[in-house]
Structure 1
């Protein structure tokens, strides 16, 4: 275009420098000749800025926290790509761009779900009787009823809907499709995705296609690449299929087989032998993983007693059954997704079973050993992590933690005012049972003071979701304290090696200071941690409150203004 310098031209303050003579004054205004300024060999317009070490360390820590929160929410797959332009949210999914007023990723998913299935297709479904409509239309009908029920006369844009079956079913399928489309491979991914959508729109093939999408999304979230093979097209009659998944870091491929059980109400949903045999009958020179959906209307673990143990027992029995002697070794994942069978009910997490079939690894009780194995276990470790995270759909576009009020948040390294004291927050834990955080503040005098902060339901949800980053920096994940003993162990991990003189300085107001001075460091550290834990935990065995503990007053917070529903 006119007015732009030629490619590769040096520019400074809007002036093209490619035609400046080397003996002429430099256009930058320095007063030096061009050859001694921006025309010098290796000259650059990059300005070097010296950053103080503390500021640089903080920025590195912030970047690590942001990266952790993003990966914890979105997995090891391609992150959500989104930006706001002129007040409108733009979301990039595969080869498509969506634009709308969405403030959260979950609200975007509802519109993405409708658009991906097809607005015209949905309108045609609405002309059918309710009982004859496609399952996803029945989900949408149930969701609209829930919205109307809980909105009531409330005209606010933000209100809460319980996490009932219809909402979970829509949200999880929408996110699975998003993950797949977002990772489409140009050579064959689009064709496979279109074929998956065709089968999802077919009521007779819907259950199988739904499970296929779930398994593919689990693999993608774990960091695998997924290849749909022509010879691995889903078996329409038995509701099973498969594909190849490769872990990019190691380059090791795996054969992934999936299958869906027959939909049952009541009865035994764990007839695994025939389904497992059908999934493993095709010989493949790869390590095998089989993911089976029980497709049971009941929620295992709630209405069925200990279904996980029964499943493991049945798998072990199959290993001894001569009828299945020719089946290859495989990692077997059993799960159940009853959401679509109970649209208006709150469904607890039904859990899952992960067990090795004809394998020495991945046996019940062998999870610790798994973590100690060589690098052959890294792919399955990533998959197991993804399985555990399944169902947690990101709320935000950028990986930030939803449900936190930054103005009320406890953050390590921040300065807090207490009653008659102030200091920097050094440690903190969350009491899961009492729904509050206990923070430990180091005062300017070097003493440790405690504060107790009530946490809202949204803050507790955020902590349970990401305990490692809840207090603003990456920290040890075990931050809970259900009992005084838990609090004692937490404190002892910090002070077990503290010098004796430091411990005595923290207990100068104790009534038995002479006895404390006579103790060795090990006993003194334990007693200090016990007394702090006993008082903060309100233990009935707590000694009389000494003067130095009377100042450990809670940080007062105004909880009168309710958070958005």
Structure 2
């Protein structure tokens, strides 16, 4: 898909999401407010409203509910909308800014003038907001990044500008309000003929000290507590990563399965029962409970348990080209339920968080049994189950990291 195709289709899908999730009595007025600005002869109207559709769509895909501000109310400044996360009830005032200047307008090129993240952030922070702020800034540059990195390129420059802004006082000399800052670059809008240009995202906290790619943690407990404090933002960012592609089906089904030709082999699903040959060659009914995809061999190794629970078996099943394509598109849900794929931990903290997801509900007595040989076992006996689970996972991760070194 070219950049131009992606731009048109994304805008259409964004508008669909906005209308679909709006209160029915507000749909016509809300849709018109977007379309009128998108048709405006003023480029700043178009660019601003275009990237507001991306921001709204990102929140909607993450499960947020949106309430749009009345822009005609001139008694005070307004953010674009208020986003509510139903799982926690938390409300956020969302302001959207987009860069709309060419290099010739900017004059001598440097990243501050080119990206204008600091300038946009300052303006956003000056808006009246009733809730915790989220500022979405689109840098709108042609840079196509293939690997996420905060060490160079526009992501580093954007992060540096956020950090500089939070150090400076507000115009009245007071402290600036805190805000989550999400900086995006939909590079396909500036690479209309390119194939595969996509979107890059960085997120950091302005005066939120424990949120951002440059924030480190020395203890697992600190990281877990930080994740809990910022769970709504992490849900938004996870959704932006997972829901980048426009779905081909209304029910979310993998298109390779939804549009599979007649006569295609039955799909393998966890929990389903299949006829599997036992060691003697006799076919018996067995339930699929685990599987490994061998992509290069185009095979699935399925792990089955007989319905009577007496036998465990494995069987290799060939994969079609459509199944391979479906696996590559959505490997976590390929077998019919969400099962995150294991990934290689980059540091001790990622490993500790992986352990924590496994052991966070382990009974306190079992954790103490596993840690019985620890020199500080008497101290460990004074800890709650929650603290004990964190400490166990932290020590396991430290030990594994030392072995790797």
TM tier, shorter chain? 0.5 to 0.7
Alignment deviations for residues 154-206 of structure 1 (CA, whole Å, 9 cap, x no partner):
xxxxxxxxx22122112211111111111222454532321111111124221
Structure 1 residue 428 corresponds to structure 2 residue 260? no
- Counterparts of 1:472-491 in structure 2, within 5 Å, are 472=336, 474=337, 476-478=339-341
How far apart are residue 461 of structure 1 and its match?
4.2
Question: Pick from 87, 91, 99: which aligns with 1:253?
Answer: 91
How far apart are residue 470 of structure 1 and its match?
1.4
Structure 1 residue 299 corresponds to structure 2 residue 144? yes
Question: Pick from 47, 64, 68: which aligns with 1:207?
Answer: 47
How far apart are residue 465 of structure 1 and its match?
4.2
Instruction: State the TM-score, normalized to the length of structure 2.
Output: 0.65
Within 2, Cα distance between the matches of 1:311 and 1:433? 40
Alignment deviations for residues 187-234 of structure 1 (CA, whole Å, 9 cap, x no partner):
545323211111111242211111011111112222222222224789
Aligned in 2, Cα 1:433/1:373: closer, same or farther, shift over 3 Å? farther
Aligned residue number for residue 186 of structure 2: 337
Conservation of the 8 A alpha-carbon contact between 2:79 and 2:93: no
How far apart are residue 373 of structure 1 and its match?
5.1
Aligned residue number for residue 221 of structure 1: 61
- Counterparts of 1:110-149 in structure 2, within 5 Å, are none
- Counterparts of 1:140-539 in structure 2, within 5 Å, are 163-186=1-24, 188-204=26-42, 205-231=45-71, 242-264=80-102, 268=111, 269-301=114-146, 305-322=152-169, 326-364=175-213, 365=215, 372=225, 377-404=230-257, 405=260, 407-412=265-270, 413-416=273-276, 421=281, 424=286, 425-431=288-294, 436-441=299-304, 446=311, 448-451=313-316, 453-456=318-321, 458-472=322-336, 474=337, 476-478=339-341
The alignment of Structure 1 onto Structure 2 pairs a total of residues equal to: 313
* Consecutive unaligned residues in structure 2, runs of 5 or more: 104-108, 345-357, 359-405
Conservation of the 8 A alpha-carbon contact between 2:2 and 2:193: yes
How far apart are residue 264 of structure 1 and its match?
4.2
RMSD of aligned residue pairs (Cα, Å): 3.7
Partner SS, residue 403 of structure 1: helix
Of the two, which has the highest radius of gyration?
Answer: 1
Aligned in 2, Cα 1:211/1:233: closer, same or farther, shift over 3 Å? farther
Instruction: State the TM-score, normalized to the length of structure 1.
Output: 0.48
How far apart are residue 420 of structure 1 and its match?
7.4
Aligned in 2, Cα 1:303/1:312: closer, same or farther, shift over 3 Å? closer
Within 2, Cα distance between the matches of 1:366 and 1:466? 31
Conservation of the 8 A alpha-carbon contact between 2:191 and 2:197: no
Within 1, Cα distance between the matches of 2:137 and 2:163? 16
